[in-house]
Amino acid sequence: VADEPAWILHVDLDQFLAAVEVRRRPQLRGQPVIVGGQGDPTQRRQVVQCASYEARAYGVHAGMALTMAVRKCPQAVFLASDSDAYDGASKEVMDALRGFGWPVEVWGWDEAFLGPRTNDPESLAGEIKETVAAKTGLSCAVGIGETRQRAKLAAHFAKPGGIYRLDASNWLPVMGERPTDALWGIGSRIARSLTELDLHTVAELIDADPEVLAARFGPVNGPRLIEIARGGTESELETGPREPKSRSRQHTYPEDLIERADIEDRLRVLADEVSGDVLKSDYTIIRVAVTVRTASFWTQTRSRSIPLGTRDPTEIREAALLVLDRFTITRPVRLLAVRLDLRT
DNA sequence: TCTGGGGTCCTAGGACCC
DNA sequence: TCTGGGGTCCTAGGACCC
């Protein structure tokens, strides 16, 4: 086995949140299902978290306002987001994947990388799909590559429910002429900056001057963009439990907050909620950050270091209020957030 | 029809110290 | 009076991802 080639498989669940909801409500199968917020499409300021493929056919997609989604697809079933249910379903899937005995790196609720050694990754991918379906009732796509980047993009081509391989032999033919933001790790902003350097496609980025990219994007990010374009680097999967670096709680209020006392009250609630999350475990808080977003979407974050660290919820709450005092708020407040940075 | 919530990593300037 | 480097911490913000 040790002399068989190493592969990365990326397992990506299909329409995960909607699929979990359909699994426990079989009568919804085949219907447009939209998960988001409290499941009430008349409520403002809530967005689609996941749309089933039937709903996507009407142009509904994640991030869209629920009020927009109900206009595009009035017959859809709208459901509240239920993170406990998704946590549980995710754990079922990851346990099924670990059952294969290969290293597993969990990537969010609905994605994972596997690191097998095999001469036949397609057969293994097929077994994975069957096992996940049998044990959890959920379907997934599997991407195959030598790196995370290739496996991740391969899974994209495999969706929904398929298997696709993106390796050294077909990376350039498949990806070379695509825009740079087709890559995992390059979004719209970097793609636009690259365009200003006359770099439009993956193939052009591969041949770009590393010095030019370093000058534009920094000493780490610049060269990394070229690596991404080449298909990424081979590196060990991280299979251990993730140590969180921060925990946050944010809320967009259905009606803007006007009164100072109201803003402070809401901030206290957020601070206490996120403190409660963190203090259940053994973490020490070393920084408290507060974000304010006004009705016009102007958004700023300020923070305060706690050099010795604390686990005292009162101190955290008061630190949040002190940070709030450093803002000059003259507009109605749409969103507040509290983030706690943790000692690593 | 205005645009959620929860994360990670990187960059850059200024303070401060040696 | 004018000047060097190196290092770390703090803070704000940008960008990406699920």
**Could you tell me whether strands A163-165 and A140-145 are parallel, antiparallel, or unpaired per DSSP bridges?**
parallel
* CA proximity to A339, closest of A245, A254, A257: A245
* CA proximity to A239, closest of A113, A122, A57: A113
User: What is residue A120's predicted lDDT score, i.e. its pLDDT?
Assistant: 98
Q: Which DSSP string do the residues of A166-228 spell out, in sequence order? A: --TTTHHHHHTTSBGGGSTT--HHHHHHHHHTT--BHHHHHTS-HHHHHHHH-TTHHHHHHHH
User: What is residue A152's predicted lDDT score, i.e. its pLDDT?
Assistant: 98
Euclidean distance between CA atoms A117 and A294, whole angstroms: 52
CB proximity A281–strand B (7 Å threshold): no
**A110 and A10 Cβ atoms separated by less than 8 Å:** no
User: What is residue A50's predicted lDDT score, i.e. its pLDDT?
Assistant: 97
Euclidean distance between CA atoms A255 and A332, whole angstroms: 9
Euclidean distance between CA atoms A147 and A166, whole angstroms: 9
CB proximity A100–strand C (7 Å threshold): no
**A69 and A41 Cβ atoms separated by less than 8 Å:** yes
* CA proximity to A293, closest of A322, A275, A266: A266
User: What is residue A338's predicted lDDT score, i.e. its pLDDT?
Assistant: 98
Q: What is the pTM of this model?
A: 0.94
Task: From the CA of A189 to the C1' of C9: give the distance in Å.
Answer: 30
The protein residue nearest B12 (Cα–C1') is A218
CB proximity A303–strand C (7 Å threshold): yes
Amino acid, res. A109 = W
For chain A, which residues score pLDDT lower than 50? none
Nucleotides of C under 7 A from a protein CB: 9-18
Angle value at C-alpha A22, between A20 and A25, nearest 5 degrees: 115
Within window 296-335 on A, which residues have Cβ closer than 7 Å to strand B? 296-297, 335
Task: From the CA of A218 to the C1' of C6: give the distance in Å.
Answer: 20
Q: What are the residues facing A291 on neighbouring strands?
A: A301, A337
Amino acid, res. A45 = R
User: What is residue A1's predicted lDDT score, i.e. its pLDDT?
Assistant: 62
* CA proximity to A124, closest of A149, A111, A138, A143: A143
Task: From the CA of A37 to the C1' of B4: give the distance in Å.
Answer: 8
User: What is residue A344's predicted lDDT score, i.e. its pLDDT?
Assistant: 79
Would you put residue A15 in left (φ > 0), alpha (ψ -120 to 50) or beta?
A: left
Euclidean distance between CA atoms A336 and A250, whole angstroms: 6
Closest-lying nucleotide for A186 based on CA to C1': C16
Task: From the CA of A190 to the C1' of C4: give the distance in Å.
Answer: 37
